[in-house]
C-alpha cells in the first residue's frame, strides 16, 4: 500500500500532532487499514506525512488514548477490533455471578419497519427495515437481563434468517465475524423504570417491579450508529461506581 504523500492540514486551534492524529484517523475511517490490521512502521508513517518521528509518535499516542489504535508489545500498532464485550455486567451484580459470560437466549427475531425514534437514532429513513431482537440473558440458569435490540438491515441482513442455534452468547465478536460490523464505542444511558407484566414474567419478577434500564447506542469506527439496545434488570441488582477527579 503506497498512499500519496499527505501534508498535515494546518487547522487553527489544533496542535500539529492533533491535526496529524485527525489525518491518520481519516485514513482508518476510509478503510485503508481495517480493524485488526497493523499500521505501517512509525518511521514510514512519519515520512508519508512529512513530519518528525517525535510528532508522529505523539499523534499515535493520542489515537491510543482515544481507543482508536492499540499497541501490542513486541508486535506493533493495530487498529482496534472494537469492543469485545462492553458487558452490561458492569452495571449489575447478580447472586451466583462468577464472572462468566451470561448465556444468551433469543426469544424473538423479527423484521419490522423502523419506528420514527429508531430510524432517527440509527440514521435511516422512517419505515426502513430493521432487525428487532428480544433476548434473555441467564446466569447460573436464572434469567437476569431482558434486552430489546434494533439493528439496521442493510448491515445485518445475513443474521435475519440464519439458524439461531449457531449464534454466540456475546454479540459484538459475532457481529465482527459474521457481518464485519465492529462496535467501537457505546453510549449507555442509565435510568430507572418499572417492569411491564410481560417483561416481569420473562425475568421471573412481579409486574411493576423496579428495574434499572440501560439504553445503549453503539457506534462503529465511522461514527455510524449500528445498534440500539435497551437492557432491563432488577433495580436491586443495579450497581455502578464512578470516580470523579
Binding residues (CB under 8 A) for its own copies: these are 66-67, 83, 86, 184-192, 210, 212, 235-236, 238-245
Specify the residue, 67 or 158, whose C-beta has the smaller distance to its own copies: 67
CB of 56 to its own copies, least distance (A): 16
Specify the residue, 114 or 231, whose C-beta has the smaller distance to its own copies: 231
CB of 50 to its own copies, least distance (A): 22
Which residue is listed with cell 419478577?
205
Beta pairing, strands 142-152 & 69-72 = unpaired
Residues forming a β-bridge with 105: 136
Q: How many CA atoms lie within 13 A of 186 on its CB side?
A: 21
Burial 29-59 (b: 16+ CB within 10 A, else e): eeeebebeeebeebeebbebbebeeebbebb
Spatial separation of the C-alpha atoms in residues 113 and 129, rounded to whole Å: 5
CB of 129 to its own copies, least distance (A): 28
CB of 135 to its own copies, least distance (A): 19
Amino acid at each position: 500500500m503506497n498512499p500519496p504523500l499527505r501534508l498535515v492540514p494546518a487547522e487553527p486551534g489544533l496542535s500539529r500532532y492533533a491535526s496529524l492524529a485527525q489525518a491518520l484517523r481519516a485514513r482508518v475511517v476510509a478503510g485503508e487499514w481495517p480493524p485488526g490490521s497493523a499500521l505501517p512502521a512509525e518511521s514510514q508513517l512519519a515520512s508519508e506525512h512529512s513530519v518528525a518521528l517525535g510528532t508522529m509518535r505523539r499523534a499515535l499516542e493520542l489515537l491510543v488514548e482515544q481507543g482508536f489504535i492499540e499497541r501490542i508489545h513486541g508486535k506493533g500498532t493495530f487498529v482496534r477490533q472494537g469492543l469485545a464485550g462492553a458487558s452490561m455486567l458492569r452495571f449489575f451484580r447478580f447472586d451466583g455471578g462468577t464472572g462468566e459470560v451470561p448465556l444468551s437466549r433469543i426469544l424473538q427475531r423479527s423484521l419490522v419497519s423502523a419506528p420514527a425514534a429508531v430510524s432517527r437514532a440509527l440514521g435511516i429513513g422512517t419505515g426502513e427495515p430493521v432487525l428487532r431482537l428480544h433476548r434473555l440473558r441467564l446466569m447460573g440458569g436464572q434469567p437476569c437481563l431482558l434486552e430489546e435490540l434494533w439493528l439496521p438491515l442493510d448491515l445485518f441482513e445475513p443474521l435475519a434468517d440464519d439458524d439461531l442455534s449457531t449464534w454466540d452468547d456475546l454479540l459484538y465478536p459475532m457481529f465482527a465475524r459474521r457481518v464485519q460490523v465492529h462496535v467501537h464505542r457505546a453510549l449507555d444511558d442509565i435510568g430507572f423504570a418499572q417492569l411491564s407484566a410481560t417483561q416481569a414474567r420473562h425475568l421471573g419478577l412481579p409486574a411493576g417491579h423496579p428495574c434499572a434500564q440501560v439504553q445503549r447506542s453503539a457506534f462503529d469506527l465511522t461514527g455510524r450508529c449500528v445498534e440500539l439496545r435497551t437492557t432491563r434488570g432488577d433495580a436491586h441488582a443495579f450497581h455502578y461506581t464512578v470516580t470523579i477527579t
